[in-house]
Amino acid sequence: MADLPQLPYDWQEPLYKHLHQHPELSMEEHETRAEIARRLSEFGYEVQEIGGGVVGVLTNGDGATVLTRADFDALPVAETTGLPYSSTVDGVMHACGHDMHVTCALGAAQAMAETKDSWQGTYLALFQPGEEIAAGARSMVDDGLVNKVPRPDVCLSQHVLGGLSGTVSTSPGAVLSAGDSIKVTIHGKGSHGSMPHLGVDPVVIAASIVVRLQSIVSRVIAPGDFGVVTVGSIQAGSKSNIIPDSATLLLNVRTYDDAVRTKVLEAIERIVRGECEAGGTPQEPDFEYYDRFPLTLNDEATTARVTEAFRAHFGEDKVTHMAPVPASEDFSIIPDAFGVPYSYWGLGGFEEGATPVGNHNPKFAPAIHPTIETGTAALASAVLAWLGTTPESENR
């Protein structure tokens, strides 16, 4: 396999800090997108803007085609890290490390451009917007991604997580959960609080629903199956002596298996309808599904190849097992659109002894080094596991 250039590139840390200081919300990432496109062009890539994202294509003779994907949106979170390079935008922060993803992916793009003598094939450096709201991958696919770039044989992506900086973690199978948000509206009948018999109280019905929903994970799905059903918001009424007309629940569901997912969603609808029926509502409840994230299900052979490349590059002790994370991603929409296998791995982001702060927390602050070097080398070495032409043995 080709030797990678010396990392990090001297522009990487300043770029990371710049991106961190200038976060942009999902599907509004104009400056970030322009910056990515400009740098890819400088590295010699053929650049296209697709559905709010950017794809750089580097063709280098016959061979396989590999796509890497990095996301670049930030979150509506007010930063409290106190870092000298804190966000300069009120209430917006790169609290999920997507600034790190861009920094590493652009580094890998330069590394691939610089080592063209030692690999063959086509490399696609894809950068997507709007991951946090499950909109960006879909938007790129809807804008014709599949017909605008060469079809990859495999898609790869990574996420900075709570592990030790300098390590990567991989696993075949489900690594991230499917995520579904549901807005449930219960239609009751308003009345004076002293005359409940003249109304249909949606607050009482909502309360029964919240309690009964807890039985899905304990009674409906198998004991070994994973599922989370959370009612994150419940809203009805405004005054103690008025029975309101309606109640609204916001639900969030996480699962690691499509059959379990279907079972849980069916049970939710059944319970809500049943409780509404029991309460005598004048109208059927409404269900509005949103922020729907697919399951991230790593292909076994692809993941084995990535893991082997990491072990060869970083050493056995730097490659750990990735336990499934009950968070969700829209990455798999991209490989699914092409109908190709994929692997998604974790990039350790925290120093030894540091208490890792979870993604989306206002204090989320990954260690810059060696996270940048590791994330850059991880992408490049994984890509070269398909495109590298020199057998490992000839390098020794």
Q: Which residues bind Zn ion (CB under 5 A)?
A: 96
Residue closer to Zn ion (CB basis): 130 or 166? 130
**Beta carbons of 177 and 264 less than 8 angstroms apart:** no
Q: In the chain, what is the greatest distance between 2 CA atoms, to the nearest angstrom?
A: 86
Tell which residue, 46, 95, 55, 56, has the closest CA to residue 75. 95
Minimum separation from the CB atom of position 217 to Zn ion (A): 24
- Cα-based angle 5, 6, 8 (whole degrees, multiple of 5): 115
CB of 235 to Zn ion, least distance (A): 25
How near is the Cβ of 223 to Zn ion at its closest, in Å? 30
96 or 383: whose CB is closer to Zn ion? Answer: 96
Residue 244 host element (H or E): none
Closest CB to Zn ion among residues 7, 96: 96
State the Cα–Cα distance between residues 340 and 149, nearest whole angstrom. Answer: 14
Query: Which is closer to Zn ion, CB of 189 or CB of 292?
Result: 292
Contacts of 315 (CB under 8 A, 6+ apart): none
CA distance 286 to 281: 12
Nearer to Zn ion, 160 or 213 (CB): 160
Across the strands, what pairs with 248? Answer: 185, 235
Q: How many CB atoms lie within 10 A of CB 38?
A: 11
CA–CA gap between residue 235 and residue 185 (Å, rounded): 10
Nearer to Zn ion, 96 or 253 (CB): 96
**Cβ-proximal residue to Zn ion, closest one:** 96
Residue with smaller CB distance to Zn ion, 113 or 160: 160
| Nearest to Zn ion of 14, 76 (CB atom) | 76
| Signed CA dihedral, 60, 61, 67, 68: sign only | negative
CB of 188 to Zn ion, least distance (A): 36
Residue 103: closest CA among 8, 16, 220:
16
Return the H-helix or E-strand segment holding 187. strand 178-187
Nearest distance, CB of residue 75 and Zn ion, angstroms: 7
How big is the CA angle at 250 (ends 246 and 254), to the nearest 5 degrees?
Answer: 150
Minimal distance, residue 282 CB to Zn ion, in Å: 40
CB of 344 to Zn ion, least distance (A): 11
CB of 283 to Zn ion, least distance (A): 36
Residue pointed to by tokens 């490349």: 309
β pairing state of 319-321 and 227-236: unpaired
